Amino acid sequence: MATLEVPCRYCSQTKSVRKHGTGANKAQRYRCLDCRKSFQLDYTYNAYHPGVKEQIVDMAMNNAGLRDTARVLKVGFNTVLRTFKKLQPRQVTSVPFDNAEIELICEVDEQWSFVQNKKNQRWLWYAWEPRFKRIIAHTFGRRSEETLQALLMLLEPFTINFFCTDDFRVYSSNLPAEKHITGKLFTQRIERQNLTLRTRLKRLNRKTIGFSKSEEMHDKVIGTFIEREFYRC
């Protein structure tokens, strides 16, 4: 008699998978004795299929809005929303900058966006290392001295030789004069990175109806993009 070995969709084990009754749609369910999780081989709802949640995040990282994603993947709008709410992006990287002897050059800039309406501005502040071509640290807030101070606290573990910024007065009053270089000539590369962010993330587009409705979603989606592009090894 032929037997069918069913791999667990969570841990890939085959020896410890057993039948576990049927679901509401009469589909056969299975349970893995190793990881203690239940699953089906076939699902009626697309969001239950393996890899769909990863596709939801991938589409957001490539200029797709929530409703665009729901239509293309044929999943519910609330499924997309819940997937984003579960994101936990890191705020700062330690790779490959964990060596205190590495001296960095940071171009610092702030990028405008808003949440719900244009009166509620939400600025992305970040430091860009042009030689390594990656974001060192980032934070969100108002276009104010307090937000810059929050960014500088994230940069404290690193050895920074120079800060390159535009002539916004907040920089000159908070950065050491001997390390501060001012002028658009020295911020060309971070300005180019601003364009990449606006191109890849719909909620940062200049003219769009795909803007953020909550600060939580705004920060998580942008933070996840930065982590995936610059923070991972």
What's residue 25's pLDDT?
74
Write out the two tokens for 68. Answer: 């665009």
What's residue 68's pLDDT?
93
What's residue 95's pLDDT?
54
Domain locations along the chain: 1-44, 49-86, 103-231
- Report the topology of domain 103-231: Nucleotidyltransferase; domain 5 (3.30.420)
Rg (CA), the chain: 23
pLDDT, tens digit, for every residue of 2-30? Answer: 456 788 878 888 888 888 888 777 778 88
What's residue 55's pLDDT?
95
Measuring CA to CA, which residue among 192, 221, 193 is closest to residue 64?
221
Phi, psi (5° rounding) for residue 165? -140, 175
How far from 67 is each of 23, 71, 75, 198, 213, CA to CA, in Å?
29, 6, 10, 19, 13
Q: 86 by DSSP, 3-state: which?
A: coil
The position carrying tokens 């640290």 is 137
Phi, psi (5° rounding) for residue 40? -120, 160
What's residue 34's pLDDT?
86
What's residue 233's pLDDT?
53
What's residue 155's pLDDT?
92
Residues of the chain with pLDDT under 50: 1-2
Q: How many residues does the chain have?
A: 233
Beta carbons within 8 Å of 93's beta carbon, 6+ residues apart: 134, 135, 136, 137, 230, 231
How far from 40 is each of 18, 43, 68, 73, CA to CA, in Å?
11, 7, 27, 20
What's residue 221's pLDDT?
95
What's residue 74's pLDDT?
92
Q: What is the 3-state secondary structure (H, E, C) of 186-203?
A: HCHHHHHHHHHHHHHCHH
What's residue 99's pLDDT?
54
**Ordered DSSP codes for 122-169:** -EEEEEEETTTTEEEEEEEE-SSHHHHHHHHHHHTTSEEEEEEE-S-H
